[in-house]
């Protein structure tokens, strides 16, 4: 069996080598297709991570008008106490807000002297809700109507925006993948067609001496599948380098905790499996498609 197998593999590699320009072209297109696929996986992973972080915070911030009266403040405090779903409520005075702002800006206090003199930062209530998916927006609209409230910052808006964005990315990504998969299928099919053509005589002889169809097909299918598998390995490597060096670098440079890059190791399975499947399916089906026409002797 070993000898037969080595003959078989030698034939396959010979055929790929003879056809190397086409094989390389198929590889190139397949890798491009996979990279786009992988990039959209990475983008949606990162977007989802951001959305999750925002959602988990479950916080709203009620900014107060500078001219809020003591009565209005007490009123607001009572409403907050009455809302059973609020688990935590912290009052932040204008001074505390300023202090926090300065700390966030690396705390070089004296640069902010002018800010201190004329503090434009509003006082606020920071409210945490329990995670029971209640309608935070109900509470929000209640507080919004109350006197002395300047504005409410509500993460839900942001979550919705992020969600919409990721939907668009997914939609575009899926169509790109479909189109590119069809293009790769076409290219693989042509590669195998040329491989078949250069071995037309051999195939013809095989048919006459009584080789079975599967015996004739096997090397060509393997050739297609091999191109597919090599493509997925190459694409995975490029994707890894690209992510480590470029994308995560950009994301991390924002320096904001919310937008830190998802580690590659968490996504690698979701990248590798689609890559390998695309390689196998496109390579296998592409070659089978072109062989079928040829075998009708």
Partner 1 sequence: MIELRDVHKVYSNGTNALKGIDINIDQGEFLFIVGPSGAGKSTFTKLLLREETPSSGSVMVNGYNLVKMRRSKIPYLRRTIGVVFQDFRLIDNKTIYENVAFAMRVIGASPKNIRKRVPYVLGLVGLASKAKSFPREISGGEQQRVALARALVNNPAIIIADEPTGNVDPQMSREIMDLLCEINKRGTTVLVVTHDHDIVQEYDKRVITIKDGVIVSDKEGGK
Interface with partner 1 by CB under 8 A: which residues? Answer: 3-4, 7, 201-202, 204-213, 215-216, 297
Nearer to partner 1, 214 or 265 (CB): 214
Beta carbon of residue 162, minimum distance to partner 1 (angstroms, whole number): 56
* Closest to 273 in 3D by CA, of 37, 23, 44: 37
Beta carbon of residue 206, minimum distance to partner 1 (angstroms, whole number): 5
Nearer to partner 1, 86 or 196 (CB): 196
Spatial distance between the Cα atoms of 50 and 91, rounded to a whole number of angstroms: 27
User: Is the Cα dihedral 42, 43, 49, 52 positive or negative?
Assistant: negative
* Closest to 95 in 3D by CA, of 72, 112, 75, 111: 112
Nearer to partner 1, 110 or 208 (CB): 208
Phi and psi, residue 148, nearest 5°: 85, -5
Beta carbon of residue 191, minimum distance to partner 1 (angstroms, whole number): 20
Using a 10 angstrom Cβ sphere, with 0-12 exposed, 13-18 middle and 19 or more buried, the burial of residue 222 is buried
Beta carbon of residue 226, minimum distance to partner 1 (angstroms, whole number): 20
Nearer to partner 1, 3 or 108 (CB): 3
Nearer to partner 1, 120 or 209 (CB): 209
Nearer to partner 1, 145 or 201 (CB): 201
* Closest to 96 in 3D by CA, of 118, 115, 75, 121: 121
Beta carbon of residue 13, minimum distance to partner 1 (angstroms, whole number): 15
Beta carbon of residue 213, minimum distance to partner 1 (angstroms, whole number): 8
Beta carbon of residue 244, minimum distance to partner 1 (angstroms, whole number): 46
Report the interhelical angle of 2-18 vs 213-242 (nearest 10°): 60
Nearer to partner 1, 213 or 266 (CB): 213
């Amino acid at each position: 069996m070993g000898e037969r197998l080595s003959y078989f593999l030698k034939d396959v590699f010979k055929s790929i080598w003879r056809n190397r320009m086409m094989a390389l072209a198929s590889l190139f297109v397949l890798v491009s297709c996979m990279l786009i696929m992988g990039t959209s996986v990475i983008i949606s992973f990162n977007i989802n991570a951001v959305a999750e972080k925002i959602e988990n915070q479950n916080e709203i911030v009620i900014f107060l008008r500078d001219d809020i009266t003591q009565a209005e403040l007490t009123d607001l405090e009572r409403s907050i106490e009455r809302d059973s779903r609020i688990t935590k409520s912290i009052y932040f005075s204008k001074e505390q807000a300023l202090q926090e702002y300065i700390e966030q800006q690396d705390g070089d206090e004296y640069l902010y002297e002018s800010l201190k003199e004329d503090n434009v930062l509003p006082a606020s209530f920071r409210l945490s809700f329990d995670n029971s998916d209640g309608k935070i927006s109900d509470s929000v609209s209640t507080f919004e109507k109350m006197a002395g409230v300047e504005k409410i910052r509500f993460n839900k808006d942001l979550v919705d925006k992020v969600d919409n964005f990721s939907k668009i990315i997914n939609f575009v990504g899926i169509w790109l993948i479909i189109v590119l998969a069809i293009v790769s299928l076409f290219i693989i099919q042509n590669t195998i067609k040329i491989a078949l053509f250069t071995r037309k005589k051999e195939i013809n002889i095989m048919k006459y001496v009584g080789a079975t169809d599967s015996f004739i097909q096997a090397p060509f299918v393997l050739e297609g599948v091999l191109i597919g598998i090599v493509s997925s390995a190459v694409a995975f490597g490029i994707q890894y380098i690209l992510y480590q060096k470029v994308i995560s670098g950009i994301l991390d440079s924002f320096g904001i905790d919310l937008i830190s890059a998802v580690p590659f190791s968490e996504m690698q399975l979701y990248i590798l499996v689609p890559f390998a499947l695309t390689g196998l399916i496109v390579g296998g089906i592409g070659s089978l498609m072109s062989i079928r026409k040829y075998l009708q002797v």
